[in-house]
Amino acid sequence: MKLNFSKMHGLGNDFMVIDGVRQTVALSHQQIAQLGHRQFGIGFDQLLLVEASTTPGIDFRYRIFNCDGSEVEQCGNGSRCFARFVVEQGLTDKTEIAVETAKGVIYPRLELDGNVTVNMGTPRFAPEDIPFIAPNEAMIDPLIVDGQVYDISVVSMGNPHAVQVVESVDTAPVALHGALIENHPRFPQKVNAGFMQILSRNEIRLRVFERAAGETLACGTGACAAVVAGIRRGLLDATVIVHTRGGDLTISWAGDTHPVLMTGPAVTVFAGTIEV
Ligand X SMILES: N[C@H](CCC[C@H](N)C(=O)O)C(=O)O
- Specify binding-site residues for substrate: 13, 46, 66, 76-77, 159, 192, 210-211, 220-221
Q: What is the DSSP pairing of strand 160-165 with strand 192-200?
A: parallel
Identify which of residues 78 and 121 has a Cβ nearer to ligand X in the complex: 78
Q: How far is the CB of 44 from ligand X (least distance, A)?
A: 10
Cα 137 to its chain centre, rounded Å, is: 23
Kindly give the pairing relationship between strand 99-101 and strand 104-110: antiparallel
Taking the least distance from each CB to ligand X, the nearer of 41 and 201 is: 41
Cα radius of gyration (the chain): 18
> Which among 36-44, 50-58, 209-217, 266-274 is the span making contact with ligand X, rule CB under 6 A?
209-217
Q: Does residue number 265 form part of the binding site for ligand X (CB under 6 A)?
A: no
Q: Which of 67, 75, 81, 224 is catalytic?
A: 75
Q: Does 16 bind ligand X (CB under 6 A)?
A: no
Catalytic residue among 67, 81, 219, 224: 219
Instruction: Tell me, yes or no, if 75 is annotated catalytic.
Output: yes
Least distance between ligand X and beta carbon 56 (Å): 27
Q: Is 13 in the site for ligand X (CB under 6 A)?
A: yes
Measured from the CB atom, the residue of 27 and 81 that comes closer to ligand X is 81
Q: Nearer to ligand X by C-beta: 57 or 78? A: 78
In the range 142-161, which residues lie near ligand X by CB under 6 A? Answer: 159
Closer by beta carbon to ligand X, 56 or else 175: 175
Which residue in the set 81, 86, 163, 219 belongs to the binding site for ligand X (CB under 6 A)?
Answer: 219
DSSP symbols for 28-84: -HHHHHHHH-TTTS---SEEEEEEE--STT--EEEEEEETTS-EES--HHHHHHHHH
Q: Is 224 one of the annotated active-site residues of the chain?
A: no
Total site size for ligand X, rule CB under 6 A: 20
What residues are designated binding site? 13, 46, 66, 76-77, 159, 192, 210-211, 220-221
Query: Do the bridges between strand 141-145 and strand 148-156 make them parallel or antiparallel, or are there none, so unpaired?
Result: antiparallel
Q: Between the CA of residue 103 and those of 21, 54, 164, what are the distances in Å?
A: 21, 16, 24
Q: Applying CB under 6 A, which part among 26-34, 196-204, 210-218, 261-269 lies near ligand X?
A: 210-218
3-state secondary structure of 205: strand
Q: Within positions 74 to 133, which residues make up the interface with ligand X, using CB under 6 A?
A: 75-78
Q: Which is nearer to ligand X, 63 or 165 (CB)?
A: 63
Q: Please report how close the Cβ of residue 42 comes to ligand X at its closest, in angstroms.
A: 16
Q: Spell 21-48 as b/e; 16+ CB within 10 A means b.
A: beeebebeeeebbebbeeeebbebbbbb
CA proximity to 196, closest of 172, 178, 220, 232: 172
Closest to 224 in 3D by CA, of 100, 149, 124: 124
Q: Report the alpha-carbon distance of residue 134 to residue 122 in Å, rounded.
A: 21
Would you tell me which residues interact with ligand X (CB under 6 A)?
Answer: 13, 45-46, 66, 72, 75-78, 159, 192, 210-213, 216, 219-222
Active site residues: 75, 219
